[in-house]
Amino acid sequence: MAQPFLKKDDDHDDEVDYSPFLGIEKGAVLQEARVFNDPQLDPRRCSQVITKLLYLLNQGETFTKVEATEVFFAVTKLFQSRDLGLRRMVYVIIKELSPSADEVIIVTSSLMKDMTSKTDMYRANAIRVLCQITDGTLLTQIERYLKQAIVDKNPVVASAALVSGIHLLQTNPEIVKRWSNEVQEAVQSRAALVQFHALALLHQIRQNDRLAVNKLVSSLTRGSVRSPLAQCLLIRYTSQVIRESASNTQTGDRPFYDFLEGCLRHKAEMVIFEAARAITELNGVTSRELTSAITVLQLFLSSTKPVLRFAAVRTLNKVAMTHPIAVTNCNIDMESLISDQNRSIATLAITTLLKTGNESSVDRLMKQITTFMSDIADEFKIVVIEAIRSLCLKFPLKHRSLMSFLSNILREEGGFEYKKAIVDSIVILIRDIPEAKESGLLHLCEFIEDCEFTYLSTQILHFLGIEGPKTSDPSKYIRYIYNRVHLENATVRAGAVSTLAKFGAMVDSLKPRIFVLLRRCLFDTDDEVRDRATLYLNTLGADGAVEDMKEFLFGSLDIPLVNFERSLKNYEPSEESFDINSVPKEVKIQALAEKKAPGKKPTGLGGPPPAPPSTIDAYEKLLSSIPEFANFGKLFKSSAPVELTEAETEYAVNVVKHIFDGHVVFQYNCTNTIPEQLLENVTVIVDASEAEEFAEVASKPLRSLPYDSPGQTFVAFEKPEGVPAVGKFSNMLRFIVKEVDPSTGEAEDDGVEDEYQLEELEVVAADYMLKVGVSNFRNAWESMGPDCERVDEYDLGPRENLAEAVNAVINLLGMQPCEGTEVVPSNSRSHTCLLSGVYIGNVKVLVRLQFGIDGPKDVAMKLAVRSEDEAVSDAIHEIVASG
Amino acid sequence: MELCPLVKNILLLDSEGKRIAVKYYSDDWPTNAAKEAFEKAVFAKTQKTNARTDAEITMFDNYVVVYKFVQDLHFFVTGGENENEIILAAVLQGFYDAVGLLLRGTVDKKEALENLDLILLCLDEIVDGGIILETDANVITGKVASHSMDAGAPLTEQTITQALATAREHLTRSLLK
């Protein structure tokens, strides 16, 4: 069968590597597998065929269900052979074929026989195979043997049983937990790897019992664990215990720190490194605790082994983010790593140096980096660029040399991502360091003179339009911009026209000259360019209402583009013109949550679940279809569902709060989880005695709630118009319950009235706040002006850490964090968080929060609020003051 | 499980990045196409480096990859982003040395393919479902090569007759081809 293949390769037989699998074909190999059925088995030939089958599987070939079953049945015949080598191959291929449950039965008895065999190799492998392919039912039958195997005097057998136990614990925890005694005995084994596997299993059995883990760790840290791998495990468990007990022991020495430090003197490198890394990752680690760990890492930096250098520099790089001073001792070793053959190590070294460097070393460092940049890949360059950007923000005085470095590399060859990283960095520096503005803008101007990326050109032109007119001499940028109108593609030309118009609108002295240029653009070949020029000439040329016009042309769009797009698509041409105010402003957070999900376990079969329909649209439609609520006006905000029942109770109820200007509607989503019941006339009785400003006006019961098909009931309240009233509501689910015959699905005629207590529900200030982001917080902040600014300081008292405090305030206000400022770097002592939102009554609100940790855990916060209305600014302060 | 050192995959590729033997222990690459894409990317990223004397290392898509080359064989061991690099290197070294012992010093693609059964058994003995079984090359080869001796005894203690028998076996095998 393989003839044609061989023939084809005959002529260049000498050049092509000879391979025993040349021209191998699935069909032929499956034919060959018939030898497994021979009455006189030839073990070597059978081994060869199994190898071929494994080769095919390894190359990504798949067997159909029928093929796999056939091969599997044939393979089971091979248990007759006494040949040890063949048996090993049989074990491997059974695991690869992963037979189905009914097939497993065929080999069970053979494997169980091997499991009790005198040959160690049989026992060890049969355990591994059987545990991998078996399901829970079989496990009880073989449990006795597995327990014996765990304490088998042969380490290979013991390890096989222990590792299988670790896997089985995921599926059959209750069985594996019964082996605790044997596993404990195995922890004392003299064989290194048995100890490692036993420790891993024992910890997993006990992981939910903090006290037991604590005991395990404290007994083992005193004794001597032989295996380096087991020692690494013990270090990980120890740091977990330290982490969990940290809150109890505020003062004094950290428990187990001495153990970690002792491990730094272990003879195995993996243990030394594991301990050093564990110390650097301790919560709130002190410089004194860090010293010894950093010393051993420093030794690794000059090791001949790349793996050690990499491990050390990667860890030090992380330490440098929070404790730059502690790492400065390693600077000399780091600098020599810049020329390391391994570019990953070199890049990590550079970025570490950029973090630990002081102001005086910046220039020298930049010189070294310039030579380094030419011979690393783009992805590494981007990492370096980001490090330089944060360095520049740290030492604003050095902006000159750093900016010129950025502009130099901007001129060199590079891909889009790399160029974008540089441009982004320059833009950020311009925004944050006023002195760097003029030179930075000129660098960008020069870059667009010769830029191959349309996206970057338009971005820069847009940015020039915002920043350029505010400089001392705006006219010098005009030449660069107008050149684009001559030399570029239509997209960039259109961008340039808009930028020119912005200069014209902002700088009166330039206006006549800009108009001359814009008029020339009227003859452009592209529609968009001509349209824009015409629009600007007509709007800006007209007298009066100039301010409004500017706002209209260049003001920021305060609605999310996605929502805008959807509303436009939904709009049907009619007498009524499209109203931009009807576009919902709430940003959907869904997209973000979904982004985080991939990377985890892919669902395998079928595509991803269909995306949920846009919630706010759905709510609006639903509410407006109910006549009782139709006259409440426009829906301001709908909250995320709040659970009112524990998980796995008879009835699952959650509530969504819909806020209108003068009303609040509670939507109770109910699910009946009892198949034998049908609920009818379901209502929620709300007691609003702790919510004085609210008065119940309507309720809409749910007529029937069958098993497992969710339904909604509504209750509406009136509240003072435009006032952010708050209050607490207690809820009682009331319904008529009817028995259902599960076999026929028919309900009985008579029902019984019943009640079910739900948890309390609160309307809080955050419910009156829409999460609406702004793209450029600084601009928005400045354009809002300090007229209605309110600043005050608050003491937040002792907190777990800064991140927890920041989150608490964000949740309290219910506003949208901007520019990623909701993320607090671990161990930092201060943090600034920017928030934006729209308060009820459509008032834009911006908040700048500055946090600082003071003393051991005391967090203080400065809150600055700007909004369009003083009363709202005060209201925000009130929320925080009362929260 | 997450506290235990875990290996995500072990790869043995040839000088063109093609598979000789690979074993994946993680669901991160659910399809063969995903696996091949990963191998291609790893190979492209490492082929220009010199990993012939010491094991080299790189970060890649939030994985740590340690690797070592000999002749036309490329050995890789991949772990998660937070894995202890030195543990991964120990696994790599165990695999590399074991293959060297099993192929009796002639470590190249041809020899590896001719003894693919030994290589596959070797992978089976190093890691089980991501958990490290053994990193000592002598013990690994002992478990793979010796078919009928007491476990735990290293290869070096094989009897002369046994060693000769296996050698003869290999000789006749290659003659038969």
- Tell me the per-residue pLDDT of A656-702, one tens digit each, with 9 for 90 and over: 888 888 888 899 988 888 878 888 888 888 888 888 888 888 888 88
Yes or no, beta carbons of A273 and B109 under 8 Å apart: no
B73 to chain A nearest CA, in Å?
Answer: 13
Find chain B residues with C-beta within 8 A of A341's C-beta. Answer: 49-50
Q: What is the ipTM of this complex?
A: 0.83
Comparing CB atoms, the residue among A155, A344, A601 nearest residue B58 is A344
CATH 3.40.50.2000 fits A623-763, yes or no: no
Interface contact B148-A163, CB threshold 8 A: no
B54 touches chain A (CB under 8 A): yes
Residue A47 has pLDDT above 50, yes or no: yes
Q: What's the rounded mean pLDDT across residues A105-110? A: 84
Closest CA of chain A from B14, distance in Å? 11
Category of A852 on φ-ψ map: left (φ > 0), alpha (ψ -120 to 50) or beta: beta
Domains in chain A: boundaries? 31-248, 378-555, 623-763, 768-882
Phi, psi of B79 (to 5 degrees): -135, 170
Nearest beta carbon to residue A311 from set B30, B85, B124:
B85
Q: Do B32 and A20 touch (CB under 8 A)?
A: no
Tell me how close the Cα of A482 comes to any Cα of chain B, in angstroms.
42
Q: What is the pLDDT of residue B95?
A: 94
From chain A, the residues in CB contact with B21 under 8 A are: 58
Instruction: Give, in degrees to the nearest 5, the angle at Cα A350 between A345 and A353.
Output: 125
B2 CB near a chain A CB, below 8 Å?
no
| Cβ within 8 Å, pair A305-B55 | yes
Cα A383 from Cα A369, distance rounded (Å): 12
pLDDT band at A611 (very low <50, low <70, confident <90, very high): very low
B153 touches chain A (CB under 8 A): no
* C-alpha count within 13 angstroms, C-beta hemisphere, residue A326: 23
Note whether A851 contacts B: Cβ–Cβ < 8 A: no
Which of A177, A178, A185, A270 is closest to A230 using CA atoms? A270
| Strand A642-643 versus strand A663-672 pairing type | unpaired
DSSP state of B6: B
Domain residues of chain B, as ranges?
Answer: 7-151
Contact: B87, A156; criterion CB under 8 Å: no
**Residues A260-269: contacts with CB under 8 Å, at least 24 apart:** A260/A235, A261/A292, A261/A293, A263/A231, A263/A235, A264/A292, A264/A293, A264/A296, A266/A228, A266/A231, A268/A228, A268/A231, A269/A300, A269/A308, A269/B86
What pLDDT digit, counting tens, does each position of A842-876 carry?
788 899 888 887 766 788 888 889 888 888 888 88
| Residue A84 C-alpha, separation from nearest chain B C-alpha, in angstroms | 6
Q: What is the pLDDT of residues A527-555, one digit of tens each?
A: 888 888 888 888 877 655 566 666 666 66
Contact A19 B110 (CB under 8 A): yes
Give dist(CA A725, CA A721) in Å, integer. Answer: 9
- Minimum Cα–Cα distance from A308: chain B residue: B86
Alpha helical stretches, state H, A302-436: 306-322, 324-327, 331-337, 343-356, 362-373, 378-394, 399-411, 416-432
Task: Pick the more confident residue, A190 or A273.
Answer: A273
* Whole-angstrom distance, CA of residue B41 vs CA of residue B23: 17
Retrieve residue A210's tokens. 């903090």
Distance from CA of A86 to the nearest CA of B (A): 10
CATH architecture of A378-555: Alpha Horseshoe (1.25)
Per-residue DSSP letter, A752:
E
Per-residue pLDDT averaged across A618-631, rounded? Answer: 78
Cβ of B117 within 8 Å of Cβ of A193? The answer is no
Q: Note the pLDDT tens digit of each residue in B102-136.
A: 888 888 888 899 889 999 999 999 999 999 999 99
CA A246 vs CA A213, A807, A826: distances in Å: 15, 21, 15
Instruction: Please determine, looking at this structure, whether the domain spanning B7-151 carries the CATH number 3.40.50.300.
Output: no
At B150, is the pLDDT very low, low, confident or very high (cuts 50, 70, 90)?
very low
Computed over every residue of chain A, the mean pLDDT equals: 82
CB contact under 8 A, B117 and A50: yes
Q: How, if at all, do strands B131-132 and A711-718 pair?
A: unpaired
Q: Does B120 touch chain A (CB under 8 A)?
A: yes
Check if B167 contacts A (Cβ < 8 Å): no
Identify all chain A residues contacting B36, using CB atoms and an 8 Å cutoff.
60
Judged by DSSP in three states, A230 sits in helix
Q: How high is the pLDDT of residue A642?
A: 84
| pLDDT tens digits along A802-825 | 888 888 888 888 888 887 787 777
**Cβ within 8 Å, pair A121-B56:** no
Question: Which pLDDT belongs to residue A235?
Answer: 92
Q: What angle do CA B9, B10, B13 make, to 5 degrees?
A: 125
Q: Which amino acid is residue A69, in one-letter code? A: T
Calculate the alpha carbon distances from A437 to A194, A465, A709, A757, B86 in Å.
Answer: 64, 13, 61, 62, 47
Token digits of residue A183: 């596993």
Say if residues A841 and A821 touch (Cβ distance below 8 Å): no
Residue contact B4–A200, C-beta within 8 A: yes
Fold of A768-882: TATA-Binding Protein (3.30.310)
- The tokens for A56 are 């095919």
Size of interface A-B (CB pairs under 8 A): 150
Instruction: Indicate if A623-763 has the same CATH topology as A31-248.
Output: no
Residues 6 or more apart whose Cβ sits within 8 Å of residue A607: none
The per-residue pLDDT for A16 is: 53
Chain B residues whose CB is inside 8 A of the A604 CB are 30
Residue in A with minimal Cα distance to B131: A163
Give tens-digit pLDDT for A580-607: 777 776 654 443 333 333 333 333 343 3
DSSP single-letter state for residue A286: -
A410/A841 Cα distance (integer angstroms)? 47
**What is the DSSP secondary-structure string of A717-732?**
EE--TT----EEEEEE
With beta carbons less than 8 A apart as the criterion, state whether B121 and A92 touch.
yes
Q: Does A291 touch chain B (CB under 8 A)?
A: no
Q: What is the pLDDT of residues A203-246, one digit of tens each?
A: 998 888 888 888 888 888 887 787 899 999 999 999 888 888 76
Percent of chain A whose predicted confidence (pLDDT) is above 70: 90
Q: How far is B114 from chain A (nearest CA, A)?
A: 6
A850 touches chain B (CB under 8 A): no
Task: Give the fold, CATH level 3, of A31-248.
Answer: Leucine-rich Repeat Variant (1.25.10)
User: Cβ contacts (< 8 Å) between A159 and chain B: which residues?
Assistant: 133-134
Whether residue B69 is predicted with pLDDT greater than 90 in this model: the reply is: yes
Q: State the pLDDT at residue B171.
A: 60
Residues A109-118: what's their mean pLDDT? 86
Taking the C-alpha atoms of residue A765 and residue A260, their distance in angstroms, rounded to an integer, is 48
- Choose the most confident range, by mean pLDDT, from A301-310, A340-349, A357-366, A612-621: A301-310
